[in-house]
Amino acid sequence: MTRQTQGAAAAQAGMVQRILHRPITATLIAIALGFGVAAALLAAAGYDPGASFAALFEGVFSKPKYVSNTIIKAAPIILTGISVAFAFKTGLFNIGAEGQYIAGAVCAVLVGAKLDLPMPLQIPLVVIAGVAGGALIGAITGALKARFGIHEVITSIMLNWTMLYLNNFVVQSAAYHRPTSTSSIPVNASSFTTILPAWKTSDAGLETLRQVPWLYDFLVKTDVNIAFLVAVLVAVGAWFVLFRSKLGYELRAVGFSRDAAEFAGMPVGRNTLIAMAIAGAIPGLAGALMVTGVEPHSISTLAGFENYGFNGFSVALIAGSSPIGCIFAGLLFGGMIYGGQSVQMAVGAPTDIINIMIGTIVFFVALARVVPLVADLLERRAQKRGARHA
C-alpha cells in the first residue's frame, strides 16, 4: 500500500469516526433500527412493511390537513419534551410532566370558562393560569426535594395521579360540569388561540381561502393554532436560559455537582426549586394551549393518562436533552402517532406497531453510548493497521 493510499484510507476512517462521535448519528441510527424492527414485526405478522410505511408517510405528508394535524399533535409533546430536557440539564428527573400538563389544562378551564374578557386580555390570563398551575406542581416537587431531600421521581408520580383526580373532580363539579356529558364546560371563545378562528369560517374568509386550495385544507379543516410557534419560541428560550444566562449556569452547576455548587456559594435549594418550577411551567403552558387551541376547548373525565408528558420524556431522550432537538424529535413523534392511524386503515396492521417502533427507537437511543465505542474501536484498528504498514 502506497503512502498516498494509506493517507486516503486514514482520512476516510477519520471522517467516519468523527461522524460516529456526533450525537445526531446515534439518534439517526436508533430511528433506522426502530423502523427495521417494525418492518421485521410487520413481515412476521403477514403485513407488507413497504405498504405500511408508505401509508404512514402518506398519512403525514399527502395532504395539507395531515401536515397541519401532525403539527397540532406534535406541539404539546415538544413542550413536555423541553420540560423534561430542561430538568435533565439541571440534574433533575421530571417524570411529572404529565401531571403538570393536566394542571395547566385544568387551570386554563377554571379561568377561561368563567371569565369572558376581550381577547387581548382573556388569552394572556388563561395561558398564564395554565403556566402558573404547572409551575406550582413543579415547585412543590422542587421544594420537597430541596427542603426534605425527597426524590423528585416519587413526588412527581404521586402528583401525576393527584392531578388526574383533580381534573375529574373539576369536570364533575356543579360549577364546571357540562350536563349530559363527561366533559367540563368549554372556555369562552375569547380564549381561543386557534389561528384566525372567526375569519376562516366566515363567508369572506372561505371565499378567499378556496382560491388557495392547500391553504384552505391546512387552515379550515383543522384546529391549527399557535401552540407549535410557541413551542419553538420556548425551545429557543430554554436553550438561552440554560447556556447563555447566569441563572442557567447556576442551575446546570447544581445538576453537575450539588456539593461543588454549594461549596462555591450557590443557593442549591433555591435553584432546585426554580429549576422544577420552570420545568413545570412548560407542560402547564402546553395544557393551556391545547384547551384554548383545539376543540372541544374543555377537559374531560380521565380514566387514564393521555401520555403527553410520558411521550415528552421519550422526546427528550431522542433529542439528547437538547431543547432545540426536542422540536425535531417532537415532530417525529407527532408524525408517527398521527400517521400511524393510516397504517391500520390502509393495510389493517394494528396501530400498536407504532408504539413498538417508538419504544424501540427510545431503547436504542438509550444505548447511544455504543456508537462512540464503535468509533473508538475503529480508530484503534486504524492505528494498528497504520503501525503495521509503517
Q: List residues bridging with 225 in a β-sheet.
A: 194
Task: Give the pLDDT band (50/70/90) at residue 183.
Answer: very high
Whether the predicted pLDDT of 8 surpasses 70 = no
194 — phi, psi (to 5°)?
-65, 145
What is the C-alpha separation between 376 and 21, in angstroms, rounded?
A: 9
SS3 221: coil
SS3 labels along the chain? CCHHHHHHHHHHHHHHHHHHHCHHHHHHHHHHHHHHHHHHHHHHCCCCHHHHHHHHHHHHHCCHHHHHHHHHHHHHHHHHHHHHHHHHHCCCCCCCHHHHHHHHHHHHHHHHCCCCCCHHHHHHHHHHHHHHHHHHHHHHHHHHHHHHCCCHHHHHHHHHHHHHHHHHHHHHCCCCECCCCCEECCCCHHHCCECCCCHHHCHHHHHHHCCCHHHHHHHCCCCCECHHHHHHHHHHHHHHHHHHCHHHHHHHHHHHCHHHHHHCCCCHHHHHHHHHHHHHHHHHHHHHHHHHHCCCCCCECCCCCCCHHHHHHHHHHHCCCCHHHHHHHHHHHHHHHHHHHHHHHHHCCCCHHHHHHHHHHHHHHHCCCHHHHHHHHHHHHHHHHHHHHC
State mean pLDDT over 292-321: 90
Contacts of 230 (CB under 8 A, 6+ apart): 75, 79, 285, 289
Whether the predicted pLDDT of 371 surpasses 60 = no
Model's pTM, two decimal places? Answer: 0.89
Task: Tell me which of 2 and 241 has the higher pLDDT.
Answer: 241
Q: What residue segments make up the domains of the chain, in order of their start?
A: 71-342
The pLDDT tens digits of the residues spanning 96-123 come to 999 999 999 999 999 999 999 999 999 9
Closest CA relative to residue 130, chosen from 201, 178, 183, 191: 191
**CATH assignment, 71-342:** 1.10.3470
The pLDDT tens digits of the residues spanning 216-240 come to 999 988 999 999 999 999 999 999 9
Task: Give the pLDDT band (50/70/90) at residue 281.
Answer: very high
Task: Give the pLDDT band (50/70/90) at residue 376.
Answer: low
Q: What cell does 385 get?
A: 493497521
Q: Are 52 and 343 in contact (CB under 8 A)?
A: yes
Task: Give the pLDDT band (50/70/90) at residue 31.
Answer: confident
Comparing 9-18, 39-48, 241-250, 254-263, the range with the smallest average pLDDT is 9-18
Whether the predicted pLDDT of 388 surpasses 70 = no
State mean pLDDT over 276-299: 96
pLDDT of residue 271: 92
Which amino acid is present at 371? V
pLDDT of residue 286: 97
SS3 305: coil
Whether the predicted pLDDT of 21 surpasses 70 = no
Task: Give 74's Cβ-side CA count (13 Å radius).
Answer: 24
Q: How much of the chain, in percent, has pLDDT values that exceed 70?
A: 88
pLDDT of residue 363: 74
